[in-house]
Amino acid sequence: MGAKCGQGRPGQDRLGQAGSGTTVLRKCLVAVLAMGLALGFLTRPGVAQGAGNDQLRIGAVLSVTGPAAYLGSPELKTLRIYVARINASSGVAGRQIELVAYDDGSEAGSANSFAKRLIERDRIDFLIGGTTTGSTLAIAPLVERAGIPFISLSGGTTVVDPVRKWIFKTAHTDRMAAERVLEDIRKRGLTTIALLADTGGFGQSGRKETLSAAARLGISVAFNETYGPKDTDMTPQLTRIRAAGVQALFVFGHGQGPAIISRNMKMLGMTLPVYHAHGVASEEFIKLAGPAAEGARLPASALLVADRLGDNDPQKPVVLDYRRIYGEEVKEDVSDFGGYAYDALMILTDAIKRAQGSDRTIDRARVRDAIEETKGFVGTSGSFSMSPTDHMGLDLSAFRLLEIRNGEWALID
């Protein structure tokens, strides 16, 4: 699947990357986040070794390059920051964490290949990642067969519905986004919309959920179009939408596509209200779209408006602390996507602590059960309460409705 990785200097994680259009490694920087400790391979299937100086290996498959890079890049940076902080504070249950991360280049095929590599060669204990819905679904069969707890960072409802035994997620779902947006459209007295969704897993799952929610809420989707995640001009679709006489446009996608749509709309002189899904909940979207994004609304986590939350909001201290630490470490604005990674790591480490046996062994199945038993865990995305029938644990209240005003996020509801 590519060149073999060599050893790097201590204090870093492994980062392999997918080649353009292939599953071949373009480069692989190997290092150990172990503070000089010996590698902690599994002693038998499903059980992490319980000796005093062993490690926990957390694998990650993220879209650090490619169309979904502005989702995956803050995810990787977040994991690096907090793994280092956890290790510096005595680790988890007396163990250091080794982060083994690969970049799938926003390609589902590469995500599958790297997940297989993590399971079979790197022998990970747990997995975080799947930046996109497509990547997550490509990984899903592998972790289910291997019995490895996997926390996805993608938005598709299909990741956790139906529930898969070993798979959880921290990102708000496309179903939640569709309902939140359509409820606001209805409050504004609008009844006829156009839907423009990307052809990737997130966009198509979101398209399905939007059509379903619109039927329930009495909103007519008079125009239903798609675009490719790598498309650079959507004026043909927008020209048809303008001629359709709809009252609002709902764009369901992530990456650069939604920003291009905003710029194309401005060029065409289109002024109808625009909504986006949570796939663009990042300052990067505002930078890419520029003034063309003004007035656009979308559902997002509390993270983007942390300083505007009420003092009695239980999320406020969590999101303010994450924003401060992330900003100090990488000198960048926060995004919902880095927050998803933070939530996944914190939920996982909390479950590991609760699952540790009296003999200090950490069994994967017990950790899986502990994740499923998570209750009232306040993260950047909301308060998580999971169950055997709910492997996300968020309700619609976890979404805040935001509007872009004067190039900044404003809290609407």
pLDDT at 178: 96
d(CA 211, CA 233): 25
Walk along the chain (413 residues) and give the pLDDT tens digit of each residue: 333 333 333 333 557 665 433 333 333 333 333 333 233 333 223 334 333 347 899 999 999 999 899 899 999 999 999 999 999 999 999 999 999 999 999 999 999 999 999 999 999 999 999 999 999 999 999 999 999 999 999 998 999 999 999 999 999 999 999 999 999 999 999 999 999 999 988 899 999 999 999 999 999 999 999 999 889 999 999 999 999 999 999 999 988 899 999 999 999 999 999 999 998 988 889 999 999 999 999 999 999 999 999 999 999 999 999 999 999 999 999 999 999 999 999 999 999 999 998 778 899 999 999 999 999 999 999 999 999 999 999 999 999 999 999 999 999 87
Residue bearing tokens 């399905």: 208
Predicted local distance difference test score (pLDDT) of residue 21: 35
The pLDDT, as a whole number, for residue 360 is 83
Condensed to tens digits (0 to 9), the pLDDT of residues 292-337 reads 999 999 999 999 999 999 999 999 999 999 999 999 999 999 999 9
Residue 358 pLDDT: 79
Nearest CA to 141 among 161, 157, 164, 123? 164
CA distances for 68 relative to 43, 97, 103, 108, 152, angstroms: 36, 26, 11, 11, 15
**Neighbouring C-beta atoms of residue 58, cutoff 10 Å:** 28
The pLDDT of residue 43: 28
Q: Domains of the chain (ranges plus CATH)?
A: 14-172+320-393 (3.40.50.2300), 174-300 (3.40.50.2300)
Note the pLDDT of residue 17.
62
Spatial neighbors of 204 by CB under 8 A, at least 6 apart, are: 197, 198, 226
User: Would you state the pLDDT for residue 120?
Assistant: 97
Say how many residues make up the chain: 413
Sheet with 55-62, strands from edge to edge, namely 25-29, 14-18, 96-103, 55-62, 126-129, 150-152, 167-169
pLDDT at site 1: 36
At residue 201, the pLDDT reads 83
Asked if 170 contacts 344 with a C-beta cutoff of 8 angstroms, the reply is yes
Burial of 187 (0-12, 13-18, 19+ CB in 10 A): exposed
Question: From residue 306, how far is each of 300, 315, 338, 377, 411 by CA, in Å?
Answer: 11, 8, 14, 18, 10
Amino acid (one-letter) located at 77: K
Collapsed DSSP state (helix, strand, coil) of residue 80: helix
